Structure 1
Amino acid sequence: MLIRKLFRFENAHIVRNCTSQRCSRSIHGHSYQVEIILEAQAFDQGQMVYDFGLLKGHIKDLIDSFDHAIAFWDKDNAEYIAYCQQFSARWISLPVSPSAEQFSRLIFVLVDAVLKQTVMQNGEADVALYSVIVHETQTGYAQCFRADVDNPRMGLIRLQDIIFSSQIQQEWSDPTLYEQLKNGQLFINPVVEPQVRL
């Protein structure tokens, strides 16, 4: 079974080397919608694939990092990058271009890492990230699957190559979240005391 959770953020970028001159040469923004799709072949004790409320923690913090931020490719012009960092408190340095396609891959990498490092405590059996869809406009979106993340022809994405500004990190519920994620530390879901015994 698949379940879907929707997130939103506003983000600015330049997509270098693309066909459109407007997109490749001018800072512009989009109202993004992100769909996180999880799958499982069994239910937890609440007869859910995964409680939607659990997605409001670290996963929401990481996706919200992109809100009211400027995202730039770390291979872009050094002067441009310096200006982004100087004039925006909220910025994200990426190892790939900030296109919708790459955003879907980046968010897949982030969410997948959180889920893999989470200790489930409510009978979740095989919950996994199935797909991430990033809507850049009302008419255009990119969808990422696991095979896309592991595809070196699309660019390597390693957690240590994504850099969030200090302002973004300070706004997380735990400012050490990303260091914990990069270091492979475990995140512990709450224990649930069942009201109905199976």
Structure 2
Amino acid sequence: MIIRKLFKFEGAHIVRNCSSQQCRENIHGHSYIVEVFIRSDKLDRGCMVMDFSLLDKVKMFIESFDHTYSLWKGEAEELKHFIYKYNRRVAEFPLSPSAEGFALIFLYVIDLILKNTRFENGEGNIEVSSVRVHETATGYAEAFREDLQEVHFSVRDIHFSPGITEQWKTADWWEKLINA
């Protein structure tokens, strides 16, 4: 069985090396919708795949991108310096912040979060099935479990500015995930 949880965030980026001149040369933003699909081979004692309250770290992770500039690690140092100087909320990661890049990073991190979540209500084998990232009302990208083979980075390559980490309800959750 599969369940779906929807999240939203507002964010800005530049998508370097894409075909569209407007996207690759200009800072611009989107109202993102993120759908997380989770599957299990059985239902828990509450007759659920899992209780949505167990997605608290997934929620915190996705909310880290709200009103945040998503910065590609390969961006020019001059722009990186500018972004960090004038923005309190910056998420820097190793993929271009396209919808596809977001979907793959979210899939990867959510998979790690779920692998490190303690399930105590008779849940089955819980795993993220896919993550769908809507960048516009008419288009989305979806990353599936088999796309995890395309991950050539680690959670250590994802960095959040203090303007983000200071707002986390559980301050050490990211460090625990990195060291898991």
With the length of structure 1 as denominator, give the TM-score of the two structures: 0.89
Is the 8 Å Cα contact of residues 11 and 29 (structure 1) preserved in structure 2? yes
Is the 8 Å Cα contact of residues 13 and 27 (structure 2) preserved in structure 1? yes
2:143 aligned partner: 144
SS at match of 2:78: helix
Task: Give the structure with higher Rg (CA).
Answer: 1
2:175 aligned partner: 179
2:71 aligned partner: 72
SS at match of 1:147: helix
Letter in 2 for 1:5: K
**TM-fit CA distance, 1:150:** 1.3
Following TM superposition, where does structure 1 have runs of at least 4 consecutive aligned residues deviating by more than 2 angstroms?
A: none
Is the 8 Å Cα contact of residues 169 and 176 (structure 1) preserved in structure 2? no
Letter in 1 for 2:3: I
Residue 25 of structure 2 is aligned to residue 29 of structure 1? no
Residue 39 of structure 2 is aligned to residue 43 of structure 1? no
- CA distance in 1: counterparts of 2:27 and 2:97, whole angstroms: 12
Matches within 5 A, 1:48-63: 48-55=48-55, 57-63=56-62
**TM-fit CA distance, 1:170:** 1.0
**TM-fit CA distance, 1:4:** 0.3
Letter in 1 for 2:141: A
> What RMSD, in angstroms, separates the aligned Cα atoms of the two structures?
0.9
Give the number of aligned pairs.
180
- CA distance in 1: counterparts of 2:69 and 2:111, whole angstroms: 23
Q: Unmatched 5+ residue regions in structure 1?
A: 185-198
With the length of structure 2 as denominator, give the TM-score of the two structures: 0.97
2:108 aligned partner: 109
